[in-house]
Amino acid sequence: MNTGRITPLGVTLTKNKVQITVWAPKAKSVICRTYQPNKDIVLSPQAYGYWYGESKEIAAGQRYHFVVNGEALPDPVSRSQPEGVHGPSAVVDLHFDWTDQDYQCQPLADFIIYELHVGTFSPTHDFEGVIERLPYLKDLGITAIEIMPVAQFPGERNWGYDGTFLFAAQHSYGGARGLQRLVDACHRDGIAVILDVVYNHFGPEGNHLEKYGPYLTEKYHTPWGKAVNYDDSWSHGVRDFVCENVLMWFRDFHVDALRLDAVHAIKDFSPSHILQDIRRTTDGLMRETGQRHYVMAECDLNDKRFLEPLEQNGFAIDAQWLDEFHHALRVAAGEEKKGYYKEFNGVEHLAKAYEQAYVFTGQYSTHRHKFFGSSANGIPGEKFIVFSQNHDQVGNRMLGERSSMLFTPDLQRLMALAIMVSPFIPLLFMGEEWASQKPFYYFVSHSDPKLITAVRRGRREEFSDFHGEGEMPDPQDVKTFHNSVLDWTETALAEHQRMLRYYQGMIALRKSNVVLRSFKRENLHVGHDLQKDSLVLRFECTKEMLICILNFSSSTQRFAIPEGQSWEKVWDTADSKWGGLSSAIMTDGFAHLAARTGIIIQTRI
């Protein structure tokens, strides 16, 4: 991985001087031009396409451009864009007085993840707004927050996946210092921070990367156009760029984990895949600092190589989002079988997801028109992250409906139980825990009219498989953004308080129950009944047995309880304290569950 880079990339403040490094392999000349005071610092060419210079006259906060072959451009590894993606870069001192010296990130098996979008999570739309809600999240039982991408994007409204400057924390959110304060505050409360990053494409507006060098390649094409250049000519500079970005988030921001967006869209046939280089980069930093860091990924390939260790030529990803569990769960709950839901068979596939993680393990996929998937046998449960909703599954609906807008409260509680009793890592999407009635739309704030038109057209095409009626909210309209902001006053209303207490209790049970904490997939046995539209999950520990019954049907069902044991009901989704109407009845060796309810019973073996 040593490709000749001699210092950290960009403009770096050190004790006695400022070091300046930029990769521009085809440039004839490169100058670092600073403003107020105005000064040109001529950089010298180095090996492998790098340019380098030093100065003692640059200060934190100072604006600057790189002038490449006479054209003034923002720094590709800018740490700050105070005037937006089209303005100059600004020098940032990343030194921070951390208070988390005694903090150590917990094991993955202890993660209860809460996904949030900084701009819509609070009324202030920034990192400080998240800090103010940390006591709430801790009381809820959350042990890790997952932050949607914060790399500088155009304007002030965006999901974050259009980030143009991967090294610059969004200025309107509070910039680098604001993010550091947030991570430090999370660590004081024992909450880990997962940051969503995007290495499969670069945002279009304000993107000058190709003026510096071949960051993209025509060898492959992705949904966003040309692929990021990980294995073509000059790819070493792009790989340095990404690995340096990984190091920065872990080292300078103390982020605990990175969630890599859509790694299935990364094209790389190098002997060492870029994901393997990211793994080695992370491992090297952990050896150096003694801190634990995780690399997670969104991947829809059902290929366990992504999770296998480097020694087996795997990519050594620590955990993967498990979309197929979500799809099977939603169909079991009554989601209409449209689009990619078409080939999921409800409780049958949900049972397989519990036992095998992947639903498609080599059989024919009618959605993909090919045989698809591999077995995940031998992969521990903490390698998979499951959810009943997330930003994609809510925001990629045309009307941005949450589960609370699609399903009755009894079904919401049942789906939440299905997540919490899984042998996987549970993830909640912000507001889910109180059944928020606010939609979560897709929104942008581009300035390029052609790009705005393309986004509108692309979203309409994306919705064609799922929605035949209704009008798509305009992603560019500021109202679309404001309508997506959480309404925290909802939590004062009785029906929302009941759901919040339900989630608090369920998370507490997940944390305290010795069987649910075991995470040993081999100790889980799942039975499903298509006629009853239900599942029975049996967990066995050394001294205890736990059974969870999930009734997705629209009528009361009777389930036999194993004899020879004394059973105690420890959870009931239909309990009146949650707003349930018909608690489960256990009598004469049977459990009677009302429609769309679930229970947990437990005994000692």
Q: Residues forming the annotated binding site for substrate?
A: 259-264, 323-327, 391-396
Judge whether 533 counts as a catalytic residue.
Answer: no
Catalytic residue among 184, 261, 318, 382: 261
Strand partners, 11: 20
What is residue 244's three-state secondary structure? helix
Q: How many C-beta atoms surround the C-beta of residue 428 within 10 A?
A: 26
Rama region for 572: left / alpha / beta (φ>0; ψ in -120 to 50; rest): beta
What is residue 554's three-state secondary structure? coil
- Rounded distance between C-alpha atoms, residue 247 and residue 293, angstroms: 11
**What is the chain's percent helix, strand, coil content, to nearest 5?**
30, 25, 45
Query: Which one, of 331, 444, 453, 477, lies nearest residue 393 by Cα?
Result: 331
- Rounded distance between C-alpha atoms, residue 217 and residue 588, angstroms: 68
Q: Is the dihedral of CA 485, 491, 494, 499 positive or negative?
A: positive
For strand 590-593 and strand 585-587, is the pairing parallel, antiparallel, or unpaired?
A: antiparallel
Judge whether 139 counts as a catalytic residue.
Answer: no
Amino acid making up residue 361: T
Rama region for 403: left / alpha / beta (φ>0; ψ in -120 to 50; rest): alpha
Sheet strands (E) in 430-560: 524-529, 534-540, 544-551, 557-560
The packing angle between helices 175-188 and 235-253, to 10°, is 50
Amino acid making up residue 591: A
Strand partners, 364: 371
In the sheet with 557-560, reading across from the earlier edge strand, the strands are 557-560, 590-593, 585-587
- Rounded distance between C-alpha atoms, residue 587 and residue 599, angstroms: 14
Give, for 218, the enclosing helix (H) or strand (E): strand 216-222
Strand partners, 270: none
The packing angle between helices 409-420 and 323-332, to 10°, is 140
Tokens linked to 458: 């692309």
Catalytic residue among 115, 240, 298, 410: 298
Could you tell me if 294 and 319 are in contact, meaning their C-beta atoms sit under 8 angstroms apart?
yes
Query: Which one, of 301, 261, 300, 303, lies nearest residue 278 by Cα?
Result: 261
Q: Which residues are catalytic?
A: 261, 298
